[in-house]
Structure formats: structure tokens, C-alpha cells
């Protein structure tokens, strides 16, 4: 008998609610730093030369503290050095990016997010993405689907997930748009991405290209505002796991490219670097 707690089996969706609470509280701390004119972002460099700020660290502390009350281990961008010999025994785990879009945070363009995913057997089964500047929350699990809640800064007055879902927008909600919409990274354009989009233009003369940062690209596909998101540049598992869960719950998928184009991405691999991928929405 499988007695493992999943998002569906947890009392009152407690796992997903805990992840939402963690994302909102982390987002509040990030926003306090972001909006403080005297704040020193204290930018450091990680091993891959990507930036790290005090906001990343404080967000990570909040999230790991709250998720620490659950039965599952945490794989966070800020705790990436856990050996695979240990991780391979984790059937279910949290995958966290405490501040996705650090470059956008430093640029002060608002396009950064907090990402939290629950992964079981390599598959993202629940996800939370919070956009602090916009006060927008995306959340999903495979039983109840995907939702977007605008104008939220805390769970005050929202006693359970049913109440939250009743006030949120079910995804996808934007089924109709005039053009074939491609969303791409605003910071990581590559020749391969450009070539792929040029190929799409041959079949979609009305193609519209939207550039945006962080996991917001996956959110646009989940919402139905974009048809496809090609990524031919490096990403890590914590960059995509939460968005992947939300896209899946909204009826889309995140696939490998090339010969494995019908195979979805997997998580908690030995190498945490994602392969190139394509996010597609499902048209009804």
C-alpha cells in the first residue's frame, strides 16, 4: 500500500497551501528589498557567473523554513550541492527557485518570480509561482487544475484552497488571440531560438513574438496567451519545475526537442541542467 502523502491526499490540500504561503511570504521580503531606495542588493557571483543577491538568500531562508514542516526534502537553487547519491532516494521532493529572474530583479523591470514545485517520481505534480511586483499568484495541482489569483499579497481571509480557487481565474482563460504567439526569453536569445522562430513564421505569417523574463514565459502558455515557448539555452530544473506543473495542470506540456520531441522533461536527475525544450499549449 502506498501511504505517501501527495498534494491530493494531504488534508485540505495542506502541502499546496504551505507552498503558497511560503511563496507569498518570500515575495513580500523580496519586494521590501526591491522597493527600498537605500537597499544594497549585495550582488555576488555564483559558480556559473550568474548573479546572487541578498533577496535570493532571504527568500530561500523563508521558503526552506516553511517547507521544512512538510515530510519532503528540498532541492533549492541556493542549496544545489546536495549529492545525487542522496537525492536519488527522494521519491518526492520540493524544487525551489527563491528568486527566478535575478537579472530582472537587478534591472528593476519587475519580471522576477518565486518558484516552488512538488515533484514525484521525476514529474511535477504541483506548482506555485508568485510575481511580487504584480501581486499575482499562479498555483496548480493535477487534481484541481491551474489557477491565477490577481491582487494577492497574503492568505489573510482565505481560509482554505477552495476559497482561493473560487476567487481565482481557472487556466487557461485566454483561448482566443488574433496571432500565433511565441514567447521567448528577454535575456537569453540564441541563434537556435531565432532559427526556430523563423521556421515557425513560414507556417504562421501572423506570428507575434513576446519577450519576457523568468518563469513568466511558462505562465503565459498556461494562461493561453501564448501558443509556444521554445528554449534553446541553458536552464536548471528549479527554473522550470513550478511552471511545468502549472502548464501541465492547464492542459499543456514541456517537451524535449529533436528526436525526443514527444517526451516531457523529468526532474531530480543526476545532472540538474535541463535539456533544450519546447512548451506547448493544447488547443481545444
Q: What is the CATH classification number for the domain harbouring 248?
A: 3.40.190.80
157 and 29 in one domain?
Answer: yes
| Residues 30 and 107 occupy one common structural domain | yes
Confidence band of 211 (pLDDT split at 50, 70, 90) = very high
Residue 1 lies in a domain: no
Q: Under a CB-based contact definition with an 8 Å cutoff, are residues 210 and 184 in contact?
A: yes
* 125 lies in some domain: yes
* 145-149 and 136-141 beta bridge pairing: antiparallel
The pTM is what?
0.92
In a domain, 176, yes or no: no
Please check the confidence at residue 45 and state whether its pLDDT lies above 70.
Answer: no
- Distance, CA of 269 to CA of 255 (rounded, Å): 16
Check residue 8 and give its pLDDT.
47
Same domain, 156 and 261: no
Cell numbers for 178: 488574433
Q: Is residue 2 part of a domain?
A: no
C-alpha to C-alpha distance for 132 and 143, rounded to whole angstroms: 26
Higher local confidence (pLDDT), 118 or 186: 118
Say yes or no: 202 and 268 in one domain: yes
pLDDT in tens, 54-92: 889 999 999 999 999 999 999 998 777 899 999 999 999
Residues 90 and 229 grouped into a single domain: no
Residues 95 and 226 in one domain: no
At 193 the three-state DSSP class reads helix
Q: Is residue 165 part of a domain?
A: yes
Q: Where is the domain boundary, 171, 189, 219?
A: 171
| Single residue among 138, 171, 204 that ends a domain in this structure | 171
Q: Are residues 195 and 260 in the same domain?
A: yes
Residue numbers of the domain that contains 201: 181-280
In a domain, 252, yes or no: yes
Instruction: Write the DSSP string, 259-275.
Output: GGTTSB---S-SS-BPP
Question: Based on the structure, what is the number of domains in the chain?
Answer: 2
pLDDT by residue (tens digit) across 104-133?
888 889 999 999 999 999 999 999 999 999
CA distance 179 to 161: 35
Residue 30 lies in a domain: yes
Tell me if the bond preceding 107 is cis, omega within 30° of 0.
Answer: no
Q: Are residues 46 and 70 in the same domain?
A: yes
Residues 54 and 162 in one domain: yes
| The pLDDT of residue 12 | 44
Residue percentage of the chain with pLDDT more than 90: 74
C-alpha–C-alpha distance, residues 277 and 28, integer Å: 31
**Are 190 and 108 within one domain?**
no
**Position 5 in a domain:** no
Please check whether residues 190 and 162 belong to one and the same domain.
no
Q: What is the mean pLDDT of the chain?
A: 90
The answer on 26 and 106 residing in a single domain is yes
Q: Closest Cα partner for 126 from 113, 138, 134, 136? A: 138
Amino acid at each position: 500500500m502506498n501511504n505517501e502523502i501527495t498534494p491530493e491526499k494531504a488534508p485540505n490540500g495542506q502541502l499546496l497551501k504551505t507552498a503558497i504561503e511560503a511563496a507569498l511570504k518570500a515575495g513580500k521580503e523580496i519586494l521590501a528589498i526591491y522597493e527600498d531606495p537605500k537597499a544594497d542588493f549585495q550582488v555576488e557571483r555564483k559558480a556559473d557567473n550568474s548573479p546572487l543577491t541578498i533577496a535570493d538568500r532571504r527568500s530561500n531562508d523563508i521558503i526552506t523554513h516553511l517547507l521544512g514542516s512538510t515530510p519532503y526534502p528540498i532541492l533549492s537553487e541556493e542549496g544545489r550541492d546536495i549529492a545525487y547519491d542522496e537525492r536519488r532516494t527522494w521519491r518526492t521532493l520540493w524544487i525551489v527557485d527563491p528568486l527566478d529572474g535575478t537579472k530582472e530583479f537587478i534591472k528593476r523591470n519587475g519580471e522576477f518570480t518565486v518558484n516552488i514545485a512538488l515533484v514525484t517520481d521525476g514529474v511535477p505534480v504541483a506548482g506555485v509561482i508568485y510575481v511580487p511586483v504584480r501581486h499575482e499568484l499562479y498555483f496548480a495541482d493535477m487534481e484541481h487544475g491551474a489557477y491565477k489569483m490577481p491582487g494577492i499579497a497574503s492568505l489573510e481571509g482565505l481560509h482554505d484552497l477552495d476559497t482561493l480557487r473560487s476567487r481565482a481565474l481557472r487556466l487557461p482563460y485566454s483561448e482566443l488571440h488574433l496571432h500565433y504567439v511565441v514567447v521567448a526569453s528577454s535575456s537569453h536569445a540564441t541563434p537556435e531560438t531565432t532559427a526556430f522562430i523563423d521556421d515557425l513564421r513560414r507556417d504562421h505569417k501572423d506570428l507575434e513574438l513576446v519577450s519576457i523574463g523568468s518563469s513568466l514565459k511558462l505562465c503565459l502558455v498556461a494562461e493561453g496567451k501564448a501558443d509556444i515557448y521554445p528554449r534553446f539555452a541553458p536552464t536548471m530544473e528549479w527554473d522550470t519545475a513550478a511552471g511545468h506543473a502549472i502548464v501541465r495542470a492547464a492542459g499543456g506540456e514541456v517537451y524535449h526537442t529533436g528526436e525526443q520531441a514527444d517526451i516531457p522533461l523529468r526532474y531530480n536527475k543526476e545532472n540538474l541542467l535541463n535539456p533544450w525544450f519546447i512548451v506547448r499549449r493544447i488547443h481545444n
